[in-house]
Amino acid sequence: MPGSSPMHSDTYYMSEALKLADAAKAKGELPFAALLVSPAGDIVLTEHDRVAELRDYTQHAETRLVKTACAKFGPDLTGYALYTTCEPCAMCFTTAWLARISKLVTGTSMAAVYELSGGQQREMPISAGTMNRMGGHAIELVELVLADECLALFEDADFGLHDGQVSG
């Protein structure tokens, strides 16, 4: 996926993130995935959660991706867009905010995943919109792109991964 054709729609980039999330789920992870789009419109990095693989609850797709991007492109990611299959948690949002990501595009909401999981998906209940308003410099926030498709990936997911039962 890195090196894709420039300047596609938010729907196109989210559909690419959905493919990553589906592959992560096939590997035993929850279907959280993210991709980074350069100012020129190229997909330059992709990532998915690696919580089960690395037995570490902080190995979220967005945080891993932003850290890799900062190492590769420098600490200021102004002009870059981050696409995530689910609204980022507080840790992931803050990571993107600190790196000065210009645009954040989300799929489903964390509230919808929480409800679908019967409360098993454990995250701080702070919306990206709330964090964005409180942050001082706002990220362009586009929410609920392909939300139904993103949420559908969670329908038969193993939420035990995030309930103290990391396998491996």
The strand pairing partners of 34, in sequence order, are 47, 84
Give tens-digit pLDDT for 43-88: 999 999 999 999 999 999 999 999 999 999 999 999 999 999 999 9
- Extract the tokens encoding 14: 């989210």
* C-alpha distance from residue 27 to each of 88, 89, 110 (Å): 21, 22, 22
Angle between helical axes of 61-73 and 90-98 (0-180°, round to 10): 10
Residue type, 41: G
**Phi and psi angles of residue 106, each rounded to the nearest 5 degrees, phi first:** -115, 155
Each residue's pLDDT expressed in tens, for the chain with a length of 168 residues = 444 445 699 999 999 999 999 999 999 999 999 999 999 999 999 999 999 999 999 999 999 999 999 999 999 999 999 999 999 999 999 999 999 999 999 999 999 999 998 888 888 889 999 999 998 888 999 999 999 999 999 998 887 755 555 443
pTM of the model: 0.90
